[in-house]
């Protein structure tokens, strides 16, 4: 990994270097502004939610008297106070702004209390008394399946004839797998600050991954045109998908209160309330039947996916679709039938989370391959390699009809197995386990093939603005949002290189719907691909303007004008970039421009789930060694080796940070982060005391990350590849290593029934069943 560069030693080219995050110094000093740090306007009020304590019921009325009697309480808002549409502007139109005639989950927001202080609003909210007549609640996904309780219709994807392939297969296995959800646990909770402006216009400060959607939702709820609402976001303190749609709720609620009282209103959720109100990663339940030959090669697969969606659709459709797309992970599925049910439950409405259904789709196939290997007495890695996509024409097309191009799976896995000494360590672990009665070890090497692009083709577009000021400094604005992932840093590097100026001369401004309209969410790992390219195009327009101007002065072709190291160079003269800018302005040359980019090649039929939904694939692999305590079920990750494909890295330090963070977050999903709802529909793990994310102590001492050295073969910005989501799924190696440790501890050759997360209780249960 390249070390960050000391001040004053910037290279001639910004991209490809490990520059510090553009806000790092401010964040360390506590000077980086988040929504709750914005100086509050005089007269600001504070809102707090009133939540349902019933999972399903008729809402008969709401008693607000006790709350309104408290001095300093200004109002209690109900559904009747919504001036525009009482249904959120989500695509399915199935979620009310505030509960109206019924409640659908514990934590659903029924009303908003507005008061002079945060604590007063929260105290008053507890005094509001909804009258609810309980109704039967569906809390079990198989009960939802029996009742045909769905948020969206089921989807089936087929290739070949899985039934016949299974009948012919030399071996078959069947089984189930339960995979839990995951709380986003962003450091900065959900927050919005709504400010009324003149002429019924509104400024919304929102911690959101999708300012354009927040704009649309707020305008829809207030009964206004979109141009009456401006949404700004300089940065988020983490998002992970949890602020893609669900930040919109906070913004709408704050705007409703501000509209009613004509005062600025801030709404910041308490962490416990955030847990109860907002959706999580979708839990999934799987049933499968698989056929295979003596070498472990798959012959046929029938797979049923039950997505636990919660009470409304939210993003469950595309999440469940991506789970189907990624059920192959890195493997060719010859005869396959996948049926996906999008089940409606009386819980929070689950939403986007890093990987967006991809992790759930991949993990079941990895578990199946691990079971096949143990059934046949083979090395699981050998079975995985036997099933990889290859360049053979009959084994290089996905089950949804996309050709796998630029496939580096085999050489990447081979290199990692060699550098991590997988064969030698696997043999050593077998010997170690024979001599250790209580502690047992396991090792696994699993690959990742992750498709990059929004599966909804229309979202694969981006815009940007580049302004060059008279002193030669540069301001960039684009439609993406910064949530700590380094998007703004990478965009600044790209623009600096396009204009040939030092990186410190480029600055990024807050995401703002009044500057770049209709921007897509910063999601699907496509933030740099889309916004970086749009900003590059905008900078290129400015550079071309300057090149044409300078070529006219020097009497040379515009192609002969070079921009590098803060200089503009022609065969006849060298001038500073600043001097050229000043001269161009004096000659009325345009020094700003917009840029627009749309991803090429992609197409997708959402009715059949076929086509080319992804521009390219990102690849990677991880080799993980674990230990389990057979008396307690406790586990520990001992060593991790990763080889990951980011193409030609724009910023190696940021990319490696994303890989490390993604892996650890995935490790938490599969080991310690357990969501538990009781039989009344209450999420009982709604605080750090009961919901356990990984800590620094859970990270192994040996945690090695290497980058694959080849550029993206597709024409992507700087030859890079997306890095936000793919590393998350590298943590499936932890789960498979745990299953291998359990199998070696048992020594009976039977299938390991271990569900995720693999808590100590579940590991102990798997050891003895």
* Cβ atoms of residues 453 and 318 within 8 Å: no
Give the strand pairing for 567-569 and 562-564: antiparallel
- Residue 531 DSSP one-character state: I
Buried b vs exposed e over 191-223: b needs ≥16 C-beta within 10 Å?
Answer: bbbbbbeeeeebbbbbbbbbbbbbbbbbbbbbe
- Residue 4 DSSP one-character state: P
- Angstrom distances, CA of residue 668 to CA of 339, 631, 646, 735: 28, 22, 23, 10
Helix (H, G, I), strand (E, B) or coil at 638: strand
What the block records as the tokens of 627 is 């230990």
> Which residue reads 């990350």 in tokens?
705
- Among the listed residues 673, 674, 725, 736, the single catalytic one is 725
* Cβ atoms of residues 84 and 224 within 8 Å: yes
- Residue 127 DSSP one-character state: T
* Cβ atoms of residues 50 and 109 within 8 Å: yes
* Cβ atoms of residues 479 and 464 within 8 Å: yes
Alpha carbon 594 to chain centroid, angstroms: 27
CA proximity to 213, closest of 533, 511, 531, 477: 511
Helix (H) or strand (E) holding 656: helix 652-671
**95 flagged as catalytic:** no
What the block records as the tokens of 21 is 């995050």
Task: Report the C-alpha gap between 146 and 590 in whole angstroms.
Answer: 64
> Which residue reads 């020097």 in tokens?
554
Our CA angle for 298, 302, 308, nearest 5°, is 125
Helix axes 652-671, 732-746, angle to 10 degrees: 40
* Cβ atoms of residues 478 and 465 within 8 Å: yes
- Residue 327 DSSP one-character state: T
CA proximity to 209, closest of 351, 38, 25, 45: 351
What the block records as the tokens of 421 is 């000494």
Task: Report the C-alpha gap between 453 and 600 in whole angstroms.
Answer: 10
Task: Report the C-alpha gap between 660 and 694 in whole angstroms.
Answer: 12
* Cβ atoms of residues 360 and 273 within 8 Å: no
- Angstrom distances, CA of residue 649 to CA of 366, 490, 523, 615, 684: 28, 10, 19, 18, 42
- Spell out the alpha helix ranges (H) of 595-647: none
3-state helix, strand, coil in the chain (%, to 5): 35, 25, 40
Q: CB neighbours of 504 closer than 8 A, spacing ≥ 6?
A: 10
Q: Is 541 exposed, middle or buried (0-12, 13-18, 19+ CB in 10 A)?
A: middle
Helix (H, G, I), strand (E, B) or coil at 729: helix
* Cβ atoms of residues 298 and 291 within 8 Å: yes
Q: Is 150 exposed, middle or buried (0-12, 13-18, 19+ CB in 10 A)?
A: middle
- Angstrom distances, CA of residue 160 to CA of 165, 209, 331, 610: 8, 40, 16, 14
CA proximity to 470, closest of 577, 554, 548: 577
> Which residue reads 């569900």 in tokens?
755
Other beta carbons within 10 angstroms of residue 643's beta carbon come to 25
What the block records as the tokens of 47 is 């809102």
Catalytic residues: 725
């Amino acid at each position: 990994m390249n070390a960050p560069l000391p001040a004053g030693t910037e290279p001639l080219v910004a991209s490809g270097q490990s520059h510090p995050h553009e806000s790092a110094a401010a964040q360390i000093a506590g000077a980086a502004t988040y929504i709750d740090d914005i100086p509050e306007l005089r007269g600001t009020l504070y809102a707090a939610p009133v939540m349902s304590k019933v999972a399903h019921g008729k809402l008969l009325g709401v008693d607000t008297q006790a709350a309104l009697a408290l001095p300093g309480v200004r109002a209690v808002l109900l559904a009747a106070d919504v001036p525009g549409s009482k249904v959120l502007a989500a695509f399915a139109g199935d979620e009310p702004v505030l509960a109206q005639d019924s409640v659908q989950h514990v934590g659903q927001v029924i009303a908003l209390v507005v008061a002079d202080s945060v604590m007063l609003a929260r105290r008053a909210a507890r005094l509001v008394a909804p009258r609810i007549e309980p109704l039967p609640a569906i809390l079990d996904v198989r009960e939802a399946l029996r009742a045909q309780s769905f948020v969206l219709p089921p989807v089936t994807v087929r290739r070949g004839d899985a039934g016949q392939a299974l009948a012919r297969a030399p071996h078959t296995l069947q089984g189930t797998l339960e995979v839990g959800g995951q709380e986003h646990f962003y450091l900065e909770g959900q927050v919005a600050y709504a400010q009324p402006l003149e002429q019924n216009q509104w400024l919304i400060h929102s911690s959101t991954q999708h300012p354009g959607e927040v704009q649309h939702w707020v305008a829809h709820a207030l009964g206004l045109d979109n141009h009456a609402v401006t949404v700004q976001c300089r940065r988020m303190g983490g998002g992970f998908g949890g602020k893609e749609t669900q930040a919109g709720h906070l913004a709408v609620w704050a705007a409703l209160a501000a509209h009613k009282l004509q005062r600025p209103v801030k709404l910041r959720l308490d962490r416990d309330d955030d847990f109860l109100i907002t959706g999580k990663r979708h839990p999934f339940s799987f049933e499968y039947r698989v056929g295979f030959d003596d070498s472990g090669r798959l012959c046929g697969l029938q797979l049923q996916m039950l997505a636990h969606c919660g009470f409304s659709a939210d993003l469950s459709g595309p999440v469940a679709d991506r789970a189907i797309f990624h059920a192959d992970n890195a493997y060719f599925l010859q005869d396959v039938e996948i049926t996906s049910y999008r089940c409606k439950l009386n819980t929070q409405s689950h939403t986007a989370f890093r990987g967006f259904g991809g992790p759930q789709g991949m993990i079941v196939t990895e578990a199946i391959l691990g079971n096949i290997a143990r059934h046949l007495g083979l090395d699981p890695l050998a079975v995985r390699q036997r099933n990889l996509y290859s360049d053979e024409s009959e084994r290089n097309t996905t089950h949804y009809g996309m050709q796998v191009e630029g496939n580096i799976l085999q050489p990447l896995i081979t290199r990692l197995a060699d550098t991590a000494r997988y064969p030698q360590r696997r043999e050593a672990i077998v010997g170690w386990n024979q001599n250790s009665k209580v502690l047992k070890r396991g090792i696994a090497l699993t690959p990742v093939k992750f498709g990059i692009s929004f599966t909804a083709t229309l979202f694969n577009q981006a815009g940007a603005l580049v302004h060059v000021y008279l002193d030669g400094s540069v301001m960039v604005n684009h439609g993406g949002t910064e949530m700590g992932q380094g998007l703004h840093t990478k965009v600044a590097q790209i623009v600096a290189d396009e204009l040939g100026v030092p990186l410190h001369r480029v600055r990024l401004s807050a995401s703002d719907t009044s500057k770049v309209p209709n921007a897509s969410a910063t999601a699907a790992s496509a933030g740099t691909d889309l916004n970086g390219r749009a900003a590059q195009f905008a900078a290129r327009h400015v550079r071309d303007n300057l090149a044409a101007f300078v070529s006219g002065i020097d009497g040379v072709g515009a192609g002969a004008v070079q921009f590098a190291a803060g200089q503009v160079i022609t065969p006849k003269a060298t001038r500073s970039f600043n001097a050229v800018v000043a001269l161009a302005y004096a000659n009325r040359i345009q020094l700003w421009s917009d840029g627009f980019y749309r991803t090429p090649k992609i197409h997708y039929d959402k009715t059949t789930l076929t086509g080319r939904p992804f521009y390219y694939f990102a690849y990677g692999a991880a080799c993980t060694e674990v230990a389990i305590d057979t008396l307690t079920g406790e586990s520990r990750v001992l060593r991790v080796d990763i080889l990951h494909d980011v193409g030609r890295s724009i910023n190696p330090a940021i990319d490696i940070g994303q890989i490390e963070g993604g892996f650890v977050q995935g490790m938490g999903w599969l080991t310690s982060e357990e969501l538990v709802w009781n039989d009344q529909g209450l999420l009982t793990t709604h605080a750090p005391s009961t919901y356990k994310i990984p800590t620094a102590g859970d990270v192994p001492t040996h945690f090695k990350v290497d980058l694959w050295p080849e550029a993206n073969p597709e024409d992507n910005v700087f030859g890079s590849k997306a890095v936000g989501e793919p590393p998350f799924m590298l943590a499936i190696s932890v789960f498979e290593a745990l299953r291998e440790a359990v199998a070696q501890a048992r020594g009976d050759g039977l299938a390991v029934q271990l569900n995720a997360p693999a808590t100590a209780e579940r590991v102990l249960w798997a050891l003895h069943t």
